[in-house]
Amino acid sequence: MTIQLPVSRAGTQSDWWRGAVIYQIYPRSFADSNGDGVGDLPGIIEKLDHVADLGVDGVWLSPFFTSPMKDFGYDIADFRGVDPVFGTLSDFDRLVERAHKLGLKVVIDQVYSHTSDQHAWFQESRSSRTNAKADWYTWADCKPDGTPPSNWQSVFGGPAWTWDARREQYYLHNFLSSQPDLNVHHPEVQEALLDTARFWMDRGVDGFRLDAVSFLMHDPSLRDNPPVDVPLKRTRPFDFQHHLFNKSHGDIPGFLTRLRKVVDGYAGRFIVAEVGGELADGEMKQYTHGPERLHSAYGFNYLYAETLTPQVVRDAIAVWPGAPQEGWPSWAFSNHDAPRHVSRWAQASERERAARVCMLLLLCLRGNIFLYQGEELGLPQAVIPRELLQDPEAIANWPQTLGRDGARTPMPWTAGQAHGGFSQARPWLPVPDEHLPLAVDRQAGDDESMLHLTRRLLDFRRAEPALRLGAVTMLDVAEPLVGFEREHEGRRLVCLFNLGAEAVAVARPDWTVLQSVGGATNAVLPPLSGFVAERA
C-alpha cells in the first residue's frame, strides 16, 4: 500500500514537530539508483513510499553535501552543493517535492562547527594571516617550544591541533585533522552560516538537525582542559579530559537565538540539536530554554547506553520534567554514530523480542522520536571485517572501538537479490547475510513481522494525543519493571514494560490493554514485554 497525503500527518500547524516521529536516512546506505555501490538522492526518492507507509511524520537526511568524504559527508566542502556521488541540487528539489506530496517533512543536517579542509573558506584562510578570511577558522601560535597552544585532544584521537607551515600556526580540529574548526565567534562566520540556513529554507526544507552543536565555540583564551581523575574508558586521549574549554562556550546560546530568529521567518520550521558529552543534560536545557532558542535537542542517554535498564529510562525522563520555559526533548535508540540498540541491549536469541519492546517503549516516550533506517526491521549491528572498515574512528582505534560502520550497512530491500537489492554493484559496505531474512520484501508479506508491528505502533501513537503531547509521570514499580503514565486533556494511558529475564505478575484487571508486545497482558508481563493500557 502506498500512502498519498497532501499535507504532513502532523498537520500544517507551526508546531507539527511536537511529538513527531522522524525517520533518519543515511543516504550512502539507503538505496543506490545508478549502480555505483553508493546510495543517492534518486534512490531515496524511489523508496520514499516505504517511509510514508510506516506512518512517520518526516525524514532526516544525513549529509549529502559536497565533500571529500574523509568523514563521509560530515566534512563539508560546500554547504550549498550536493556531492555528485549523491546526485544534483535538482535531485534534492525533486526529493523535497516528492516527500511533501507524501505528507513527509524534510529535515537536513547542518554542520556549523567545522568544514572540510577543502572548503574554499579554509583554503583562503590558510593562505596568509592577512586575507579576508584569515580569522574565519581557529588559528593560534605555538608555545615557545613549538608544541600546540593547548592540551586539547580530538574526538578521533591525537591532538586537536595541526601545524600549518604556510601560516606558521596551528589550527584547531575537534575531529579529523581534515575537519578544521570554524571560528563561530566571528560575526562574519555567523552571517555566512545564517545565509546557509536561508538557502536551504528557501528550497523548502522543513527543519535542521544541528550536528555537534556544543563544539560551535571554544574558549578564546585556549585554557588547558583539566584531566579526568579516573576515566571510564581509555580508548582515546579525548577520554582523559573534562572538555570545559575546547567546546561548550557560553556564547553558543546567543548564536542559536540568532539562528532561531532566521528560521522563524519561515512558517512551520523546526530545529533540533545533537548535544553530547558530560555536560549534555544541562546544555540541552540551556540551548532549548524559552521560545527564542532551539525547538528541541537530543543527547546520548540511550545511544551510548550499553544496557537498557529501568534506571536508564528513569534518568532520561527525569531530565525533561516539563518545567516552565523548558524545551522539548527528542529521543533516539539508534543512529549512524552508535551501534544498533538491539545488539547493545540483547543477546542474539533475544533480539527479536528486544526489538519489539524497544519500539513500543520508544514510541511511548514524551518528546520527538527519531527512528533510524532499518530499525523498523529489527536489524542488528553488522560485524565488519577489519579489511573492509571505512570509518576513520574504527580504523584508528581498532579493535578497541568497533566504530560506526556496523550501523551504516546498506538497507536490505529484497532478500533474493544481490546485495539485498540495495545496488547492482558491490556496495561501499557489505550487506550482512544475517540481514537478508529481515529484508523489507520478506517482512512486508508477514503480518506478524517487525515491520508490520512498527506500522501498527506508529498508527497508535499518531491516534493518541496523550502519547504525542501528554505529560509524563513515573510509576512507582519495582525493577525489572519500568512504567509511566501519559496524560493529555483527561486521557490517561499507562505504559508498563518488563526489561528483565523473568515474568512479572501485575494483576490489574481494571486496566484495558490497548497495545502490547511480547505477550504482555494486564495479568502478567513476560520477559522483554510491555503494554499500553487505559485506566478504568
Q: Rounded to an integer, what distance in angstroms lies between the CA atom of residue 159 and that of residue 145?
A: 16
Q: Which residue matches cell numbers 498537520?
A: 11
Cell numbers standing for residue 66: 559536497
Query: What would the pLDDT profile of 129-148 be if each residue is shown by its tens digit?
Result: 999 999 999 999 999 999 99
**Cα separation values, 95 from 73, 182, 195, Å:** 18, 30, 22
Least confident of 132-136, 234-238, 320-324, 443-447: 234-238
More confident residue, 428 or 1: 428
> Rounded distance, CA 272 to CA 141, Å?
35
pLDDT tier at 490 (50, 70, 90 boundaries)? very high
Looking at residue 395, its pLDDT comes to 83
Q: pLDDT at position 12, please? A: 44
- pLDDT bucket at 403, cuts 50 / 70 / 90: confident
Share of the chain above pLDDT 90, in %: 92
Asked whether the beta carbons of 357 and 530 are under 8 A apart, the reply is: yes
pLDDT surpassing 60 at residue 5:
no
Report how far residue 241's alpha carbon sits from residue 228's, in angstroms, rounded to the nearest whole number: 5
Compute the 3-state secondary structure of the chain and give helix, strand, coil in percent, each to the nearest 5.
30, 20, 50
Instruction: Tell me how far apart the alpha carbons of residues 76 and 111 are, in angstroms, rounded to a whole number.
Output: 8
Evaluate whether 301 touches 330 at the Cβ level (below 8 Å).
no
Boundaries of every domain in the chain: 21-115+187-462, 471-535
The H-assigned helical ranges of 346-436 are 351-364, 392-397
- pLDDT at position 3, please? 29
* Distance of alpha carbon 36 from alpha carbon 38, whole angstroms: 6
- 398 versus 187: the higher-pLDDT residue is 187
Query: What is the predicted pLDDT for the residue at 307?
Result: 96
Helix (H, G, I), strand (E, B) or coil at 375: helix
Q: What is the pLDDT of residue 355?
A: 98
Q: What per-residue confidence (pLDDT) applies to 8?
A: 38
Q: Is it the case that residue 101 has pLDDT exceeding 50? A: yes
Query: Of the ranges 4-18, 303-317, 364-378, 406-420, which one carries the lowest mean pLDDT score?
Result: 4-18
Which tens digits make up the pLDDT trace of 345-355?
A: 999 999 999 99
Question: What's the pLDDT band for 418 if we cut at 50, 70, 90?
Answer: very high
Position 4 scores a pLDDT of: 30
Per-residue pLDDT of 20-43, as tens digits, reads 999 999 999 999 999 999 999 999
The mean pLDDT value of the chain amounts to 95
pLDDT of 10 over the 80 cut: no
- Alpha-helical regions (H) of 219-324: 252-263, 280-287, 310-318
Q: Which pLDDT score is estimated for 118?
A: 98
At 32 the three-state DSSP class reads coil
By the 8 A CB rule, do 422 and 32 touch?
Answer: yes
pLDDT at 400: 72
How far does Cα 216 stand from its chain's mean position? 17
Mean pLDDT of 235-250: 93
How many Å apart are CA 334 and CA 511, to the nearest integer? 32
Fold of 21-115+187-462: TIM Barrel (3.20.20)
Among 109-123, 258-272, 391-405, 488-502, the minimum mean pLDDT is found in 391-405
- Residue 445 pLDDT > 70, yes or no? yes
CB 364 within 8 A of CB 464: no
- Alpha-carbon distance of 499 to 439, in angstroms, equals 27
Q: What angle (nearest 5°) sits at the alpha carbon of residue 232, between those of residues 309 and 288?
A: 65
pLDDT number for residue 13: 58
Pick the range with the lowest mean pLDDT from 133-137, 195-199, 382-386, 493-497: 382-386
CA distance 184 to 111: 12
Comparing 21-115+187-462 with 471-535, is the CATH topology the same?
no
List the catalytic residue out of 32, 211, 375, 464.
211
Are 366 and 317 a contacting pair, CB within 8 Å? yes
- Nearest by Cα to 284 from 271, 300, 273: 273
d(CA 306, CA 238): 20
Q: Which CATH class is domain 471-535?
A: mainly beta
**How much is the pLDDT for 138?**
98
Which whole number is the average pLDDT over 276-281?
94
pLDDT digits (tens, 9 = 90+) for 472-485: 999 999 999 999 99
**CA 84 from centroid of its chain's CA atoms:** 24
d(CA 13, CA 55): 18
- Is 479 a residue of the active site? no
pLDDT digits (tens, 9 = 90+) for 320-336: 999 999 999 999 999 99
Average pLDDT over residues 138-163: 97
Cα separation, 429 vs 433, in Å, equals 13
What DSSP designation does 434 have?
G
Q: Is 178 helix (H, G, I), strand (E, B) or coil?
A: coil
Asked about 211 being catalytic, the answer comes back as yes
Average pLDDT rounded to a whole number, residues 406-430: 97
Q: Which entry of 57, 274, 337, 375 is annotated as an active-site residue? A: 274
pLDDT band at 398 (very low <50, low <70, confident <90, very high): confident
Residue 457: burial class (beta carbons within 10 Å; 0-12, 13-18, 19+): buried
The answer on pLDDT for 2 being more than 60 is no
In angstroms, the CA 193 to CA 208 distance is: 13
Note whether 422 and 412 are within 8 A (CB): yes
- Output the 3-class SS for 98-133: HHHHCCCEEEEEECCCECCCCCHHHHHHCCCCCCCC
